[in-house]
């Protein structure tokens, strides 16, 4: 049961077969049927297959533990070469995989292809990181001794990934796990299993040895089996705060480290001296790219009174002009949200805000032009009478921007900082003093000055404060810290010096 490969070009009309990767073999799942449908045309099946069983998770963990002996024994240079080759496979197939991603997840084709290329860049980055891996040498208080700190892999890592970046988030967890010598058992979101198969295929084609990456497709129960498995030595997760905290608690009871990247309620803050054209352009990207389904999306806007009317008029117009529709159409700027239940809960979030006194500046209803059956929403901007509304606090994970006006810079920072999440923020000002004050006053993991709240580079730490993050951050040196542990070596010569 080998999944057909992308070589020769996949036909998008054809339903893809979903298979699990266990110990280097592509195998049918043994559990319930899984059907991956298109959020644009929910009747259209993109891929289907069966979920992995608990027994198959056991087999995957066993394979990963055996694979560890081989993989961790290879040099970082050899491991890096595999990642770099996998990057080449993704680059070669980016258009085809991007189209599949768009069909399965619903972001626009440009974003779908862009995400595949981003995954390739991440694999390439960590592939090269292998060459840069270095330890430390310390002096010793004792004569004739040196103290070395070397890094070693932690073992077999459980990787649990969300729907919204079906290939880039898996790449940014799996690539650092692998380069430092760990092996992986991976459960992708069950709404985007096809893209998971595609990433695993790229790594297999690149020569990854059997057992090093195992893919077990399934629902929450498969995630629980991985998290609770005694063979899993660390867990990296991206998703909701509720699920992330559950995983952290389960992992703590086994003494296993967790890296959890969770929700956000990220503010854009526009001050009176800002370049408003730039602010509008960046806020539109932050709020509505990927249909607002990014943990880093801009879902709150704080604007000072002096520029509020002008900014909100321009933003409302830009939102009304945004082309919503089939994300495979080149002219589409925003596709659907992922599922019927996401569609329902975002709409009820909007309705609840209106009930609590919010004014609709744009959207708030389903777009007329978009395919009727798909999970479409209009880009929605809501002005709130105060920050006390639920929509100011609760993450809706959709194309909804809540706005609050304030009368001073201090109030702007206070209102933006208020809340339980602390992932990212975007400040629009040309005043360096104000920008530096925001660094101190706003408790976030990522602060953008004059750029949108989303976006992340692989060489710098990624992750949030407060409810947004738990455990080690992701990317760059932070990834190295998480995916390795240290051995401190007190080193003396074995003979008395003569
Ligand atoms: C981005 O902002 O481009 O789930 C990346 C998420 C984040 C990744 C954001 N972990 O949306």
Nearest-atom number in ligand 1 for the CA of 424 is 2
Measure the CA dihedral 451/454/460/463, to 10°.
130
Residue nearest to atom 4 of ligand 1 (CA): 295
Contact by Cβ (8 Å): 248, 470: yes
Q: What is the 3-state secondary structure (H, E, C) of 441-462?
A: HCCCCEEEECCCCCCCCCCCCE
Q: How far is the CA of 162 from the centre of ligand 1 (A)?
A: 10
CB 406 within 8 A of CB 302: yes
Residue from 27, 50, 122, 26 nearest 80 by CA: 122
291 closest CA partner among 164, 189, 387, 122: 164
248 C-alpha to center of ligand 1: Å? 20
Q: ipTM, 2 decimals?
A: 0.94
Catalytic residues: 261
* Ligand 1 centre distance from Cα of residue 286 (Å): 11
Q: Whose CA is nearest to atom 1 of ligand 1?
A: 455
1 alpha carbon to ligand 1 midpoint, in Å? 34
Ligand 1 neighbours, Cβ below 6 Å, are: 162, 164-165, 169, 238, 261, 294-296, 454-456
423 DSSP 8-state letter = S
Hey, how many other C-beta atoms are within 10 angstroms of the C-beta on 468?
27
3-class DSSP state of 17: strand
Q: Could you list the pLDDT tens digit for every one of the 498 residues in the chain?
A: 333 433 333 334 467 899 999 999 999 999 999 999 999 999 999 999 999 999 999 999 999 999 999 999 999 999 999 999 999 999 999 999 999 999 999 999 999 999 999 999 999 999 999 888 888 999 999 999 999 999 999 999 999 999 999 999 999 999 999 999 999 999 999 999 999 999 999 999 999 999 999 999 999 999 999 999 999 999 999 999 999 999 999 999 999 999 999 999 999 999 999 999 999 999 999 999 999 999 999 999 999 999 999 999 999 999 999 999 999 999 999 999 999 999 999 999 999 999 999 999 999 976 656 667 899 999 999 999 999 999 999 999 999 999 999 999 999 999 999 999 999 999 999 999 999 999 999 999 999 999 999 999 999 999 999 999 999 999 988 999 999 999 999 999 988 766
Residue ranges of E strands in 218-319: 234-238, 258-261, 266-270, 298-304
Going by C-beta distance under 8 Å and a sequence separation of 6 or more, which residues neighbour residue 35?
A: 45, 47, 48
């Amino acid at each position: 049961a080998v999944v057909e490969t992308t070589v020769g070009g996949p036909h998008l009309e054809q339903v893809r077969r979903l298979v699990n990767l266990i110990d280097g073999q592509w195998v049918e799942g043994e559990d319930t049927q899984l059907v991956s449908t298109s959020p644009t045309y929910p009747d259209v099946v993109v891929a289907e297959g069966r979920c992995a069983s608990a027994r198959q998770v056991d087999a995957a963990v066993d394979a990963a533990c055996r694979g560890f002996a081989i993989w961790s024994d290879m040099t970082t240079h050899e491991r890096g070469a595999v990642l770099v080759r996998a990057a080449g496979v993704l680059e070669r197939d980016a258009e085809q995989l991007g189209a599949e991603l768009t069909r399965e997840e619903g972001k626009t084709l440009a974003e779908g292809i862009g995400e595949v290329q981003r995954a390739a860049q991440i694999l390439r980055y960590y592939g090269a990181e292998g060459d840069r891996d270095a330890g430390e040498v310390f002096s010793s208080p004792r004569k004739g001794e040196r103290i070395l700190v070397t890094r070693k892999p932690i073992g077999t890592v459980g990787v649990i990934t969300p729907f919204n970046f079906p290939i880039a988030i898996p790449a940014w967890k799996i690539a650092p796990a692998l380069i430092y010598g760990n092996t992986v058992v991976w459960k992708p979101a069950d709404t985007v299993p096809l893209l998971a198969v595609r990433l695993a295929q790229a790594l297999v084609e690149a020569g990854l040895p059997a057992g090093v990456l195992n893919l077990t497709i399934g629902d929450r129960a498969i995630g629980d089996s991985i998290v609770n498995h005694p063979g899993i030595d660390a867990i990296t997760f991206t998703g909701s705060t509720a699920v992330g905290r559950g995983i952290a608690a389960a992992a703590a009871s086994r003494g296993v480290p967790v890296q959890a990247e969770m929700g956000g309620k990220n503010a854009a803050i526009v001050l009176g001296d800002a370049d408003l054209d730039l602010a509008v352009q960046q806020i539109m990207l932050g709020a509505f790219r990927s249909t607002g389904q990014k943990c880093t999306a801009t879902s709150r806007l704080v604007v000072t009174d002096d520029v509020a009317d002008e900014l909100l008029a321009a933003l409302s117009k830009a939102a009304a002009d945004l082309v919503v529709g089939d994300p495979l159409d080149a002219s589409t700027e925003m596709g659907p949200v992922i599922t019927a239940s996401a569609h329902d809960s975002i709409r009820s979030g909007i309705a609840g805000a209106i009930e609590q006194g919010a004014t609709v500046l744009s959207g708030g209803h389903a777009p007329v032009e978009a395919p009727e059956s798909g999970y479409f929403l209009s880009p929605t901007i809501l002005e709130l009478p105060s920050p006390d509304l639920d929509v100011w606090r609760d993450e809706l994970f959709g194309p909804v921007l809540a706005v609050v006006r304030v009368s001073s810079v201090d109030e702007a920072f206070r209102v933006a900082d208020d809340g339980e999440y602390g992932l990212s923020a975007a400040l629009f000002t040309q005043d360096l003093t104000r920008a530096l004050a925001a660094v101190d006053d706003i408790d976030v993991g990522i602060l953008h000055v004059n750029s949108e709240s989303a976006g992340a580079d692989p060489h710098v730490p990624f992750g949030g404060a407060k409810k947004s993050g738990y455990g080690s951050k992701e990317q760059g040196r932070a990834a190295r810290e998480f995916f390795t542990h240290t051995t401190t070596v007190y080193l003396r010569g074995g003979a008395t010096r003569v």
